[in-house]
Structure 1
Amino acid sequence: MVPRVGMTDLEALSVPFACIDDDGQADASRVVKKRAIRCALSRICGICGDTLNRPIAFLGPRSEADGNRFAFPPLHLSCARESAAARADAVGGHLGHVHADGAWLMVTTGGFDLIRPSRRGDPVWFSPNSVIEILEA
């Protein structure tokens, strides 16, 4: 993973790119909708903010994987692996989730669909297509 300017790898993992608003306020337990959409449209990683390559990974609770809808934007495979490893040590939120408890899965894919909110206040979702592999995280 390439750290964002001025941030260590550990800081980038604890406060991902998609969790920092325009004012610089960072909260790992919430995804900033504007950043999430930017990640999708610009094909950049939700953790490090760099351009994505294939395969793309999604990481989240089993409930999201089972529904094929992830709340956190797409990730580099390496960023997803590092984030999955760091999840056990996460204090507070992780990848837009208030609690990082329970079983999480990593889904690798060749592409994804962005599901925009239909009403103000609704979340953005990401739906992997062309799933390559589903792994325990």
Structure 2
Amino acid sequence: LGQAVPRISRTEAGTLAPAFWAHRDGEEQPVMQFVRGGWDNLGDLPRPSLQKVEYWVRQGRLERRGYAQIDGAAGDEPAALLDHVEEVTLRFRDVEGKWREDWTPGQPDLMPRAVEMVVKRTGEPPVTLRFLVAPGPKEAPLDDQEASNAAA
């Protein structure tokens, strides 16, 4: 998360995905997805230095899945990070310093300032992890028309 970049991507179906998004929809979608920089290319492969990554909770595992290409590619095989995972909950610190239970920005390239992840594993107390997110763009000010629509 410290290497996250405000890069909007495309899904395998070609639809646009925000720079950072998270879901609580069970095992059908990743709990978090973003694009990160700093992907070393020691083998000098024909790929970018950016990488789209997802975190999933499936079948009692926390998994990380990477993509060789950012836009429209299929993901690689997921890597299991933890097993015996019952639940993962996320909170997001916004640009105003407030913690939010969901991340639904009005601007697709905005990213949270920090992510809190609480992992509950079978037979163990919950573990709380907090990650700083790389700085992203500033929230664009609303023009007069958008401000009046938002107030309505």
Whether TM exceeds 0.5 here: the answer is no
Computing the radius of gyration from Cα coordinates, the structure with the larger value is 2
Q: Which has the higher contact order (CA 8 A, sep 6+)?
A: 1
Q: Name the structure where helix makes up a greater proportion of residues.
A: 1
Q: Name the structure where strand makes up a greater proportion of residues.
A: 2
Q: Output the TM-score relative to the length of structure 1.
A: 0.31
Q: Output the TM-score relative to the length of structure 2.
A: 0.30
